[in-house]
Structure 1
Amino acid sequence: MGARLGHLQLVQGERNRQLAEENRIRILPKPPVRGNILDRNGNIIADSRLSYSAFLWPLAKAEPNWETTVNRLSEILNISVEEITSRLDDVPVDSPQLVRIARGLTPEQVTAIEEYNYELSGVELDIEPVRDYPYGSTAAHLLGYTGEITQEELDNRGGDYRLGDIIGRMGAEAAFEQRLRGEWGGQQVEVNGAGRIIRILGEQEAKAGRNVTLTLDIELQEAAEEALGNRVGAIVALDPNNGEVLAMASRPTFDPNIFSGNITSEVWQELQGKDNPFVNRALRGFPPASTFKIVPATAGMESGQYPPNTVLNTSAFLNVSGVRVGEWNRAGFGRIGYRGALAWSSNTFFGQVGRGVGGETLIDWAKRYGFGQKTTLELPEEASGLIADEEWKQQRFNTSWSEGDTVNMSLGQGLTLATPLQVAVMFAVPANGGYRVNPHFLKTDDNQSLEKVSLNLQNSTLNTLREGLREVVTNGTGSAVNVSTIPQAAGKTGTAEARPRASHAWFGGYAPNDNPEIVVVAFAEHSGGGGGAVAAPMARQVMEAYFNRD
């Protein structure tokens, strides 16, 4: 016995003193309060509230009653034993830091943990901030949500992140993570043999994250989501003069508040649901249909091959390399110019223009309008859409670009894919006098980084486009927007084939016609019906909300 005591004190004394000290002195980390997210008018659309979280000391896993502890905790928190255990797998047993097991506990769960305290060795309750979205599912895709960092994410990020960090996922929460997250604080405490805190040895206050103000107008966002209703699709509202995103709605959607609590595998599966509710359809590519006819119109006039006074004969179909490309009314519109062709969305008119200028010219103008590339929007989940060309088609299909590809592109069909945001950027060009804006939703006074890009359009081209888009509303397929409840508007309808499923419906437009303040693009996925009947009323509803505020 004496030899053993001597060995423990003399040979292993330093190590044992270190273990005793680590068991006596513990660190209680304090997470920072995440910065708030506000809309353009100062309304708080994401903030933090205080809520109970459950933590475990890693040493609990080595306790003899661990099985009782983990089974009872699993029952109370509705989390599997495997999940609880896995949270401790990457943490050393002698780690002096608590490991979060669950956050956003209900009052019933807090009471149960207190009642069964005698069975829950190593379990601690603490109050910490959790994310709260007061408008629920409104603007969910734009705002995103938060979640606890995984080990894989921690390995990839490095820096000053640690296990237990809450990070942004999707939307503004992810895009402005560094602004919002703040800095951890904590307490160094002395505990007794039962693990109870005897005294606080030191403390460092957590540093709150910075607030972020978006260009979003939450009232207009609510109107956009109401206009979408239960349809699958998206609506984008944009300031055509500076690119500020005023609203961006996508359906189906989700409530980001659910991620402030525990997400079980069953709940996660249920959230996936039908039609991918986590996909922001405003940033996904679809055939833009006849809204895209602005591009061949521009290409025709700017090339000089089809000047603004061009008049072409339209008919029931256009013969393209032996394939008939039909007019949507199956009869044609006789001899018409650009204004009439836009008003009645003539396929055979713009098919002739596109075929005449050729694929390269058409592709060039599509890219100048911003298609086929991501915009400057801050969201990482934005898709680039697709403007195919000879090289792309050779790589993908091992075939050459054809006349049919050119005509299909002229009609916004075939290989062409565009996001509703890109379509909104296109409509901003005639609205603001010929500039491609850089869309963004971080409110900033730094206009230099957001300068518009001039497309150097001739005045005659701009005037013809604007007159034609106005005629769409006054005397064409967009008459649903020709109402007294909003200022005079201009726009373009579109109906994209999506066989064998129902067609997509589009409408893009702006108002007031003489001095545009807002661009609205409405898209209904597989809705059936035409853009004028389905999408135009949706856009009108958003414009009414914008222009008829109290």
Structure 2
Amino acid sequence: MSFLRSARINKNVTTRNVGKNYQSLFIMLGISLAMFGGIGSRLAYLQIMEGTRYRQQAESNRIRTLPKQPERGNIFDRHGKILASSRLSHAVYVWPMAPKNVEWTATRKRLAQILHTPEAEIQKRLDKAGYNSPTLVRVARDLNQAQITALAEYHNQLKDVEVYIEAVREYPNRQIAAHVLGYTGEMSDKELAKKRKQGYRLGDIVGQMGVESAFEQKLRGEWGGQQVEVDGKGRIIRIVGRKQAKTGQDVHLTLDLNVQKAAEKALGNRQGAIVALDPRNGAVLAMVSRPDFDPNIFTKRITSSQWKSLQSKDHPFVNRALRGFPPASTYKIITTTAGIESGKFAPNTVLSTYACMNIGGTRFCDWNLAGFGPLGFAGALAWSSDTFFYQIGRGIGGSTLIDWTRRYGFGKKTGIELASEEARGLVADDKWKRENLDLPWSVGDTVNMSIGQGFLQVTPLQVAMMFAVPANGGYLIQPHLLKDNEEAKSWRKSLNLKPDTVRVLRQGLRQVVDGGTGKALNSPTIPPASGKSGTAEAFGNKSHTWFGGYAPSNKPEIVVVAFAEHSGGGGGKICAPMVLQVMEAYFKNKK
């Protein structure tokens, strides 16, 4: 009995323990399955969902690119003469992970000594790129022979430093057409932030001004290089792939190098500008600005202190051909147009001229302080009589004069490809004067405007457009630099001038040269020419001088405008000889 009872008791105990063990087992199995399921899910997520991203990160740690910068396209003049090309030079690159190595401090110091560059500047460029950059970081370019030799001599001390041959921009004519061509240089941080989405990268060389900037997309080309696999220490294990750099497209300009050189020589060291263009289609043949610069200086990196030093010399990077100045008496072309087109003055109008006139309570005098007696439009243009045009301006009123000024293209950009550097100029009116001076437009403002003074501001390029109107028979042209479609109809629109207006303008501008203020252009070295002088007051400084002209008078092929800033003297004396030199070069070359 006791044995049976004991067995029964043990049986009950055993049954209960076995049940508990199974229950614990199931719990542990569930926990394990949950854990492994979570781990499996996470692994699946990492492999399937995030696999590409992590694979790219892993490859970026072991795959590096040895970049090959593309060669920029060439720039040619209208006859195929080279204006900008490329040459081979040496550049220094550093592996981005170099600062992690213990030798970096000594390497950086030696590199700074050879390149004549502050250590901080080298470090800054590497920090900007980041240690995980997939490409090498350029720290200097266009090395001289001494630097190349030194880098070779200290090669064993310059761990993580590479020297490669790459193309740099070259301007064989140096300062010639510098403001038109512009220059190239490394992108700033601000520029990179704007253009990174367009495929640009740290260290890219881009057009910074002029044609180089305007046609950047054509000229730049595409980067190439080698992809290499590196080990943990940054050593190259093998070449993974190659991509051929793609050269940029060539650009052919409307510039004529011979005419450009003549214009550069004619302006000399005077501060100012010269513009020459074809009045039939707006093709720019020459554009000069002084002071100038040599764009070759930017083949090396320019520091901020160097840039400030370059800028200090009367702003040499400002293209004065695209900046606004008072046009003075050259503007009388528009006053003549407005007078005749308004119907208030007949083409054969004759007016008395005076030493001085009292208009609106203000005394306005002629430039010779004597007057010229009775004159018609042609005679008034020939002698540039101020009092004649005062009467025209007063007679037609400010609104009519302003309207025709704008029809001639003043007060807005011309449409030339250098739009980012071009000023609109200023054609003031009643609204502008009230907003800026809190005064209404007056008859005195109209009288001042009638002779190209007062608030009026125009660029030498806009003045050249103005001279093209009588030259081509009444069409407003759009100046352009790209030698593409040069059909006249593509680049001009009619101002719908009366035939008498064109006739009077051409007659008067011819008389300026034949016996008026522009006799310097009356030379047997060029065909019969026409033109107009101008002398603009610059309060507190010497006057500005102008001369614009075209030739041949009966069938014009070229318009030339010369502007001398604060030159003093008169336009016929200072600027007309410049125009003559440019025309001589044009017609001699053509002959």
Quick check: 1:289 aligned with 2:308? no
- Equivalent positions of 1:180-199 (< 5 A) are 180-191=219-230, 195-199=234-238
Describe the superposition over 1:21-54 as per-residue Cα deviations: whole angstroms up to 9, x where unpaired. 6554321122211111110000111111111111
Question: In the alignment, is residue 298 of structure 1 matched against residue 298 of structure 2?
Answer: no
**In terms of mean alpha carbon deviation, does 277-286 or 443-452 score higher?**
443-452
Over 3 Å counting, the alpha-carbon distance change for 1:487 and 1:25 in structure 2 is same
Matches within 5 A, 1:30-429: 30-157=68-195, 158-191=197-230, 195-379=234-418, 380-429=420-469
CA shift in 2, pair 1:313/1:60, >3 Å: same
How big is the shift at 1:66? Answer: 2.3
Letter in 2 for 1:39: D
d(CA) in 1 for partners of 2:572 and 2:488? 38
* SS of corresponding position for 1:236: strand
Q: CA deviation at 1:163?
A: 1.3
3-state secondary structure, aligned to 1:502: coil
* CA RMSD in angstroms, aligned pairs only: 1.9
Going from structure 1 to structure 2, the CA distance change for 1:22 and 1:155 (only over 3 Å counts) comes to closer
- Counterpart in 2 of 1:503? 543
Deviations 1:425-466 (A, max 9, x none): 000000000000010010012648833111111111110000
> Aligned residue for 2:29?
none
Q: Once structures 1 and 2 are overlaid, which stretch shifts more, 468-477 or 110-119? A: 110-119
1:53 maps to amino acid: A
User: Deviation digits for residues 357-406 of structure 1, max 9, x if unmatched?
Assistant: 00100000001111111001000211111100111111111111111111
Return the alpha-carbon distance in structure 1 between the equivalents of residues 488 and 515 of structure 2. Answer: 40
Contact 1:434 1:462 in 2 (8 A): yes
In the alignment, what sits opposite 1:475? 515
Indicate the SS of the match to 2:280.
coil
Which letter does structure 1 place at the counterpart of 2:353?
T
User: What amino acid sits opposite 2:334 in the alignment?
Assistant: V
Instruction: List alignment gaps of at least 5 residues for structure 2.
Output: 1-42, 44-50
CA distance in 2, matches of 1:139, 1:21: 47
Distance 2:259 2:298 in 1: 25
**Higher mean Cα deviation, 301-310 or 71-80?**
71-80
**Is the 8 Å Cα contact of residues 291 and 506 (structure 1) preserved in structure 2?**
yes
**Alpha-carbon contact 1:188-1:201 (below 8 Å) kept:** yes
- In structure 1, distance between residues paired with 2:359 and 2:209: 44
- 1: CA distance, partners of 2:429 / 2:60: 65
- Structure with the higher fraction of residues in helix conformation: 2
8 Å CA contact 2:550, 2:558 repeated in 1: yes
Superposition deviation, residue 95 in structure 1: 2.0
- 8 Å CA contact retained: 2:279, 2:556: yes
SS in 2 for 1:237: strand
Distance 1:56 1:357 in 2: 71
Once residues 342 and 450 of structure 1 are traced to their aligned partners in structure 2, the CA distance between those partners, rounded to angstroms, is 31
Residue 526 (structure 1) aligned with residue 566 (structure 2):
yes
**AA at the equivalent of 1:34:** R
Q: Is the 8 A contact 1:57 1:96 kept in 2?
A: no
Instruction: Give the secondary-structure state (helix, strand or coil) at the position aligned to 1:507.
Output: strand
Secondary structure class of the residue paired with 1:498? coil
Q: Which structure 1 segments of 5+ residues have no match?
A: 1-10
CA, structure 1 residues 56+174, in 2 after alignment: closer, same or farther (shift >3 Å)? same
Q: State, as a whole percentage, how many aligned pairs show the same letter.
A: 61
Per-residue CA deviations over 1:479-520 (Å, capped at 9, x if unaligned) read 000011110000000000112110011000100000000000
Contact 2:183 2:209 survives alignment (8 Å): yes
For the 8 Å contact 1:79–1:264, the answer to whether it is kept is no
Structure 1 distance, partners of 2:172, 2:499, is 47
Query: How far apart, in 1, do the equivalents of 2:182 and 2:327 lie?
Result: 26
Matched, 1:545 2:585: yes
- Aligned to 1:329, the other structure's residue is in SS state coil
Match of residue 7 from structure 1: none
Under a length normalisation based on structure 1, what TM-score does the superposition of the two structures give?
0.94
Conserved? CA contact 1:506–1:524, under 8 Å = yes
Q: Residue 471 and residue 84 in structure 1: after superposition, are their counterparts in 2 closer, same or farther (change >3 A)?
A: same
Residue 90 of structure 1 aligns to a residue in which SS?
helix
- Quote the Cα distance in structure 1 between the aligned partners of 2:489 and 2:187: 32
- Alpha-carbon distance in 2 for matches of 1:420, 1:547: 22
1:315/1:117 CA distance change after superposition, 3 Å: same
Alignment TM-score, normalising by the size of structure 2: 0.88
Read off the aligned partner of 1:251 and give its amino acid letter: R
User: In the TM superposition, what is the alpha-carbon distance from 1:162 to its structure 2 partner?
Assistant: 1.3
Amino acid at match of 2:446: T
Aligned mates of 1:381, 1:106 — CA distance in 2? 33
Report the counterpart of residue 15 of structure 2 in structure 1.
Answer: none
Structure 1 17/334 Cα, relative in aligned 2: closer, same or farther at 3 Å?
closer
- How far apart, CA to CA, are the structure 1 residues paired with 2:476 and 2:264? 26
User: Bigger CA drift: 16-25 or 105-114?
Assistant: 16-25
**CA distance in 1 between partners of 2:218 and 2:441 (Å):** 46
Return the alpha-carbon distance in structure 1 between the equivalents of residues 91 and 113 of structure 2. Answer: 16
